[in-house]
Structure 1
């Protein structure tokens, strides 16, 4: 007679067999549907509309296995399908079949890669792939690294490691007796995680010094050096430079070689946030964009972006692979018994660690450097194609005529609306045009999002000291993107923008002062009737744009009707 424990063991295997069989059909069907002509990226619903459509009730008595598949189908139906080539919204795209299998393996093992003896194979894989990445970047014979749960946490660990290494007394005594003001330097287009880290480490946002960028969105080394000199003149202690290899909005690459030399000259820690652009190391054709990475003390690279590994997969690499444990270990003997270099959790500020490195290890094994190279170069080919489509269409205006990376940024210019020269940025006319172009972009984005065929984002930006109108940002990443999808996307934007100016004017959201046939603007930016637009783009009455830029429609016509 079987014991209750044996029944459970047998039941687990049988239940897994049933669920995996059912999930196979569900997953394959989901991917197939995403590639069909006209397939939606998302069946978009507002939160209030979505809540009744998904069962958010958490019962006392569970729904059991029979209720699982209907629930999963519903989750898939209303989620964003990143496998769809129309998903061009973020710096990641859908993963690949190998990635799915790898994630399933991680869940099957349910392993914790904090100490070697509970995850021996996964630990060796992480150590191996980290070292290989660091060597590709030219970081030296002693280089290597570990994974963190995302690029923001990787950047945080880099700054914490730098502070603890350069000022070890802070690790034990804190800032109370330190007596120095630490300063950090980062690009004005850099990721906000640097500022978040400044908050977390108690440095203060005022001491995260933003370095101006040039007209291509790259940090200016001359400005960096002047800001360091000024900080020293104020008797502060500069200690950390964050350069970016592939900024979030424009995809710009800071001049790493020049910045690295400045860091060495002033004895500052040189960190490179290559979360987005670091993966170009796999492409002979494009890796010159990250020349100077060999000078970095630490370097962040996220394969879950450009290489298509499943989220999350982020590496923090260092010229000295032991630096993380040296600076961050607390020697917790109840967990880390033998002071082993393979107890990777001792190098972080956390404890439990998902073995994310296996996602890149297995992907690298299957696809090889040549496979990743092919993926990257296809993405750049499609980015060039979209760039030419936009540049050769008089309904659009590029933010940068020659994008440095895979983000294609542009405005849609409605028929009859004047394009103002950037040199007019100080004029009242330019400010009004900027606000109105922002409303146009947000309204077109709303229409596209509600239609659901394509999903991409918009962004603000200050470029070379000038605040630009909000513009569209399309990210080319997925290997499934081709010329057909890009042609269709451009047509979809044109369709969404056909009557946008008339719509905004008709509903008292936008004045018509910057149509090409009428350039008169009064100082109060009045629109027809008693509706006036204030600095936050809000309109009195029933029509307003809220703080997030979404237009509230009370009785207004619906574009989709």
Structure 2
């Protein structure tokens, strides 16, 4: 392309010139079909500044020639006024031209300087081709994507995919980029590799034009041409060659995989869609594009619909391509097949690619080769533009669409590439004749008046559910009006059917629980990925996706319940030893069902009188459990405050809230102005740090204190950290101790920590979510010695007692402290002059909605009594000690297992050692041995999950130099025996021998 000097006179009768209108016109000449791009800034040699303008091609004696809009059309410009302004007479004199150029320079933005090759990508002009519309009141615009530097729309995805691959580390310097392509992507990838310094291999097929193949080679890489027309699963299919090359060269070849790469559609969603929206000032009503990868139509359509849900996306497809059957006839992606071949390149497909999003498509237009090529020839003859075949198909589809849409519609399509690449085909009469397409040479791309007389369906096929916003609003209003009619929303039959479903489901749930605790079923039904689960549920007739407007299928309810049970982990199984919750106490489960049936919010006494008093009874029992050495003693319940809360994490945060309120009571209104510092152990639960983050204290101000070899916080180290915080001017205010740490089951030194807290005026909290249940056992309570000195305490009965999630209890010695710290005085709930106003619990909490979680433990405690809970705790602690004994016995016998952490609470840690790594001794192990043993637990757990055997967690502790080890926990000891645990270890040894 050549720039014409400013002194050159522009004559209106130059048929091959491109005339520039608007602020700062520029003029350039070039071959027909190649127009100046807005992003390709023309540099004036005298000023080194770009000259902005809008491209308008000259048509052959037509009253309304095609017009190209500037890419920087602002959102507040009206499309029609812009078009009227663009239609003004051309600049005819040198003086006028100089004046316009001066105006352009005066208004030039500062960033309009010479650009790099990569910056030429995108921002293509929007060409007005409304003269091809079948309705003079419907506009047709086309994005000139052939003006991208490699000559096609595919520069957008090449730049984005390569850039994202570099950012993610998938593509590194020295690697080779491999891409399967029908043509344009190959040249675009080749250009992108040239810009970034990568070698590349492009695989295409024999259908691709010589011009495209030559372009791919021109950038200096390798091109492989595979046979055309082979089945998608054939090893010589060009996509499969890419896959094979990458599989054979892992780490050295990067596969673009344009047909399935999510960055494909993302590139268009990020660039082409916004450009169209901006250039039409949001007036676009329809978007038309063909598909090969499906990325253009999916990504662009998705963006336009995000701006206006009423934008309709119409896909153009060659006759024979599989998209038509997939979208119009509903043929599954696995069952589609090509019905006939076609000559158009870069559009249509023989399989459904992963990039294609069928949900974006509203309608389809099918065209044949003659439609597309005749359109190309017509545009060449009338408007001096050489278009590629896919562009011809798109314009043909837009023309068909223009005859069916409402007046005032604005149709936008894309011209992916130009006809220079097809001079030997589309623009060669001999080639057209050889393919039986001689009719296209006549250049008549008009739509037949009676489409049914043609050999193909050249008409719009809309999805049946397509409705306008106005129609949706009217339907919604009618439905809303109907909803308030009648005595009931549902009929008596519908209500009875739902109650019958509820009645029938209860026995199924009891059966599921019975099978789970029996231990005969698999712990893990089947190891599945998220995609696998989606397929499983779809096959069961109950898709996981809650599709918009999906039909109601009452018969699917039973299938849905069964599918959920069949594909879930049985956490009540005796060998679910993975997390600190397990088992479901049947009586507590009944309490959970009862709470759901009552559906009462335990925030005010007036709506939940019984449940409020039950919660208070549970809190009083917990206070006695914490502060009285012997449960059942005659002493009165100690003064306390408390709440049932949804999980131990929130229980810990409540303790922080009370501690902050004590040290800085005004913080609840103005926010804290102090640099508050809190402390917890290295082995404490991560919720302490999360609470500090949520409360604005900051995770860096939740200081982790060193632990001893058992994982217990060292009181002396705590005091060092407190003094260090004071020395830097911070305000220590809180210490979170742990009773039964998550990994090791450690119990902190409560006496020592309490002494530190007393000396420095700190709030002391005991997180007993896991090990706090030891207070229920006279035999095990000693591990908690000194915890009664704390200011607050929490524990989770849903852990060691096996209650249904969630059931967590927080108590403090400070009556009234919760309301003082948390009350917000909601006048519509907590009126002081209502009945029993003082009985409300809600203003103590940071929640409003509160489920009656106290009911399950209250009911179960009534059934089991103190002795029943004590037996549960003793069994869990005792079985953990038995596992430790079994591990040590095997360690001494054959070295198959090695103890990593001795039994504490109901935890025990161990390594399984495959024969090839025996003997393994942690003390004195080399770095290589530690690395190797760290790989074993993840691999063995994977095998166990696939077998449906026991589920046991694993993790490392870097601070103790412990690589991945199995962390066996025993929250579900009710149906677990020493023999079951011994047999499990034997199976682990059998499954892991060849690791």
Regarding TM over 0.5, the answer is yes
Using a 3 Å threshold, how does the CA distance of structure 1 residues 499 and 268 change in structure 2: closer, same or farther? same
1:477-496 to 2 correspondence within 5 Å? 477-478=971-972, 479-496=974-991
CA distance in 1, matches of 2:523, 2:641: 38
Distance in 1 of aligned mates of 2:610 and 2:981: 43
CA contact (8 A) 1:150 1:302 kept: yes
1:122 maps to what in 2? 611
Task: Report the counterpart of residue 411 of structure 1 in structure 2.
Answer: 911
Q: Distance in 2 between matches of 1:62 and 1:121?
A: 41
TM-score, structure 2 as length reference: 0.47
Identify which of 937, 942, 945 aligns with 1:441.
937
1:98 paired residue number: 587
Task: Say if 2:48 is the partner of 1:48.
Answer: no
Alpha-carbon shift at residue 433 of structure 1 (Å)? 2.3
Does the residue aligned with 2:732 lie in a helix, a strand or coil? strand
* 1:269 paired residue number: 763
Q: Which whole-Å CA distance do the structure 2 matches of 1:71 and 1:444 have between them? A: 32
For the 8 Å contact 1:132–1:144, the answer to whether it is kept is no
Question: Kindly tell me: are residues 12 and 211 of structure 1, through their superposed partners in 2, closer, same or farther at Cα, counting changes over 3 Å?
Answer: farther
Deviations 1:472-500 (A, max 9, x none): 01111220011232122101210221100
1:88 aligns with 2:577: yes
What is the CA–CA distance in structure 1 between the aligned matches of 2:827 and 2:711, rounded to whole Å? 47
Structure-2 residue corresponding to 1:516 = none
TM-score (norm 1): 0.83
State the match for 1:454 in structure 2.
950
Cα–Cα, structure 1 residues 64 and 222, in superposed 2: closer, same or farther, change >3 Å? same
Distance, in Å, in 2 between the alignment partners of 1:383 and 1:341 is 46
Give the drift of 1:192: 0.4
Cα distance between partner residues in 1 of 2:528 and 2:776? 39
| 2:928 pairs with 1:432 | yes
Give the counterpart of 1:211 among 680, 705, 708: 705
Deviation at 1:166, TM superposition (A): 1.7
Conserved in 1, the CA contact under 8 Å of 2:577 and 2:970? Answer: yes
Change (3 A) 1:363 1:256: same
Q: Counterparts of 1:240 and 1:213 in 2: how far apart (Å)?
A: 18
| Deviation at residue 216 of structure 1 after TM alignment | 0.6
* Larger RCO: 1 or 2 (CA < 8 Å, sep 6+): 1
Trace 1:154-553 onto structure 2 (pairs within 5 A).
Answer: 154-175=651-672, 178=673, 180-338=674-832, 340-393=837-890, 394-401=895-902, 403-417=903-917, 422=922, 424=924, 430-462=926-958, 465-478=959-972, 479-500=974-995
SS at match of 1:399: strand
Is the 8 Å Cα contact of residues 590 and 856 (structure 2) preserved in structure 1?
no
* Match in the other structure for 2:597: 108
User: Is the 2:896–2:918 Cα contact (8 Å) retained in structure 1?
Assistant: no
Partners of 2:609 and 2:497 lie apart in 1 by 28
Gaps spanning 5+ residues in structure 2: where?
1-484, 538-542, 629-636
1:133 aligns with 2:628: no
SS of 1:116 mapped into structure 2: coil
Note if contact 2:519-2:574 (Cα within 8 Å) is conserved in structure 1. no
Runs of 5+ in structure 1 lacking a partner? 501-561
Partner of 2:478: none
Structure number, greater radius of gyration: 2
Alpha-carbon shift at residue 108 of structure 1 (Å):
0.7
Instruction: Give the conservation status (yes or no) of the 8 Å contact 2:624–2:638.
Output: yes
What displacement does 1:37 show?
6.0
Mapped partners of 1:37, 1:168: distance in 2? 53
Distance in 1 separating the partners of 2:923 and 2:573: 40
Q: Distance in 2 between matches of 1:458 and 1:187?
A: 20
Q: Distance in 1 between matches of 2:566 and 2:805?
A: 20
- 8 Å CA contact 1:183–1:240 kept in 2: the answer is yes
Offset of 1:342 from its aligned partner? 2.6
Structure 1 pair 204–24 and aligned structure 2 pair: CA distance change class (3 A): closer
Structure 1 stretches (4+) deviating beyond 4 angstroms?
6-13, 35-38, 418-424
The answer to whether the 8 Å contact 1:164/1:328 transfers is no
For the residue of structure 1 that corresponds to 2:581, the secondary structure is coil
Counterpart secondary structure, 2:946? helix
Structure 1 pair 279/11, CA: closer, same or farther in 2 (3 Å)?
Answer: farther
- Per the TM alignment, residue 416 of structure 1 is displaced from its structure 2 partner at its CA by 3.4
Per-residue deviation, residues 449-469 of structure 1 (Å, max 9, x unmatched): 11112111101114xx43211
With 62-71 and 216-225 compared, the bigger mean Cα shift is at: 62-71
Aligned length: 488
Q: Tell me, yes or no, if the aligned pair for 1:135 and 1:143 is still in contact at 8 Å.
A: no
- CA RMSD in angstroms comes to 2.1
